[in-house]
Structure formats: C-alpha cells, structure tokens
Amino acid sequence: MLKADKLSKRFGSRLALDHLDLSVGAGEIHCLLGANGAGKTTTIHLFLGFLEPTSGAAYVNGQEVASNLDAVRADLAYVPEQVNLYPMLTGQENLAYFTRLAGRPTGEAARLRELFDQVGLDRTAADLRVAQYSKGMRQKVGLAIALAKGARALLLDEPLSGLDPQAANEFCALLRRLADGGTAALMATHDLFRAKQIGDRIGIMKAGRLVEHLDVARLSHAQLERIYLDHMHGRNPVARACA
Ligand SMILES: Nc1ncnc2c1ncn2[C@@H]1O[C@H](COP(=O)(O)OP(=O)(O)O)[C@@H](O)[C@H]1O
Ligand SMILES: [Mg+2]
C-alpha cells in the first residue's frame, strides 16, 4: 500500500532522506524510530506529497505520489503530533467539517456518532467543544476523521507524544483495530515501548538512512532498546549481539 523506492530528499547541502526503500502492506503497522533530525517527518511529508523527492519515488496503492497527488491524497489520512481542530466547534462538528473537506459525504448525524463510538469517544464528548478536550481525545478525533474518509493508509507523525499511558494505550488499540480492518499505517514515534507493542515491523533511522529493519515478533523490548541505543551510539548491534 505504501512503498518508497530509493526515496531521497535534499535540503540545500543536507541530505534529509537518503535512498529509503520501504514498503508497508495493507493491514500492517510500520513504526519509524530515530533521533530528532533522522528524517522521519521528511519521509511522511514525501508520502503526503507535501514535499517533492529529490530522487526516487513514493507510491501509495501503486500510484506515484508526486504525479498523482489528488488520487493519492484521497487514499491517505494524516495524524500529526497535534491534530488541529476548531476549538469552538464540538467534536462532532469538527468531524463533519473535516469529512466534508475531504470530499466525503457526512451522512446522518447518527453515522458521525457511530464513528465517535468506534474511536471510544462517547456522546457527551461528541457534543463538547474541542477546547475542553484532552490531547488524547483530539488524537482520537484524528483517527475518526481517517475512518470517515475511508483512508486506506495512515501516516502518523509522533501521534503519541504527550499522551498519558492510558490515552496512548487506547490510541494504539484503536490503530491496531484499523490495521486489522486492512489499513496500512506508517508511524513515526519516539516510544520504543509502543512501537514494540503495536508495530509489525520497526525501522530505525539515522541521519536520513534506514539503518535497521526489524521484525517485531522476534524481538523483546530489551533487545529493541539495545539495538536502538547501539545505533545511536554508532556501535554495530550485530557485532555486539554476537559478542
Ligand atoms: N524544510 C526544511 N528545510 C531545510 N531542512 C529541513 C527541512 N525539513 C527538514 N529539514 C532537515 O532535514 C533533516 C530531517 O528532518 P526531519 O525529517 O524533520 O527529522 P525527524 O522527523 O526524524 O526529526 C533535519 O536535519 C532537518 O533539519
Ligand atoms: Mg519529526
């Protein structure tokens, strides 16, 4: 569903993304880990068509992003670190507004409520102004918008930052349900624990390069942390693991 083929992006003299090869299938959650500046957001922005690649290409559902922007964006939903909603509108009004903006029919109010139900927000929350929402509630509305849009792929850029453990857990459980329904998800995060908990695969990025690609099922939390830290310290994780 999502594919990067030698995807590269240069900003002036800085190579922010260096020949990224990656694919995320339907129903799969792929987490990207890496220090600030590693190229995670650049990757997500290239998939969204916010940036044009310097070389290589990003594909969504087989279509190259840069040359099929409208079609590609119809298949995508984006959940940034801060889901921006209108604070003076209720959650349900926001959902209706952003669904229309995505060119999708909002249908009956009952349908919007059902979407709120699906993301674990109750009727009281749907009728509350977003100014009174917690961050976790706003992030859930972000997923409700993705659901309303029927997005086939989700791009999430540090959606968990600042969420308390319960809110992060609920958000991840919901993301897992979306993936189980066939949505592909690429999520940048600093949270190794959650990446291990919900990711099918984890990529570790460093200075624009994907330096490790891991199958989560084969790893313990401790192993993941050690491999991650080894990369950050410039040690060779394989050599260390064998030592
Ligand atoms: N619009 C931009 N102009 C210039 N440099 C940028 C721009 N966006 C990102 N960069 C640089 O590209 C590198 C990767 O950044 P980014 O993708 O935001 O990393 P991450 O999300 O992993 O923290 C960084 O060195 C950053 O400073
Ligand atoms: Mg970033």
Query: In this predicted model, what pLDDT tens digit does every residue of 164-212 receive, in sequence order?
Result: 999 899 999 999 999 999 999 999 999 999 999 999 999 999 999 999 9
Q: Whose CA is nearest to atom 3 of ligand 1?
A: 11
Q: Give how far Cα 131 sits from Cα of 90, 100, 127, Å.
A: 8, 21, 12
| The two three-digit tokens of residue 224, written as one number | 């993941």
* pLDDT of amino acid 238: 63
Instruction: Characterize the bridge pairing of strands 76-79 and 153-157.
Output: parallel
Assigned domain for 223 exists: yes
Which ligand 1 atom sits closest to the C-alpha of 9?
Answer: 12
40 lines ligand 1 (CB under 6 A): yes
16 lines ligand 1 (CB under 6 A): yes
Q: Which of 157, 16, 9, 197 is nearest to 77 (CA)?
A: 157
Assigned domain for 145 exists: no
Number of domains present in the structure of the chain:
1
Q: How large is the average pLDDT for residues 151-173?
A: 92
Q: Domain containing 68: what range?
A: 2-88+153-242
80 lines ligand 1 (CB under 6 A): no
| The two three-digit tokens of residue 46, written as one number | 């290239």
Assigned domain for 173 exists: yes
Which ligand 1 atom sits closest to the C-alpha of 45?
Answer: 17
CATH code where residue 12 lies: 3.40.50.300
Assigned domain for 79 exists: yes
Assigned domain for 141 exists: no
| The two three-digit tokens of residue 92, written as one number | 């349900």
CA dist., res. 74 & res. 243, Å (int): 49
Assigned domain for 146 exists: no
Assigned domain for 121 exists: no
Sign of CA dihedral 18, 21, 27, 30: negative
pTM beyond 0.85: yes
CA dist., res. 224 & res. 130, Å (int): 37
Assigned domain for 94 exists: no
CA dist., res. 6 & res. 21, Å (int): 5
Residue of 31, 33, 42, 44 best suited for mutating to test ligand 1, as the one with most atoms within 8 Å of CB: 42
56 lines ligand 1 (CB under 6 A): no
pLDDT tens string 3-40? 999 999 999 999 999 999 999 999 999 999 999 999 99
Q: Which residues pair with 213 in a beta bridge?
A: 203
Most confident stretch, 21-30, 69-78, 107-116, 231-240: 21-30
CA dist., res. 96 & res. 166, Å (int): 27
Which residues are in the CB-under-5-Å shell of ion ligand 2?
Answer: 40-41
CA dist., res. 38 & res. 159, Å (int): 17
Residue 94 Cα to ligand 2 middle (Å): 25
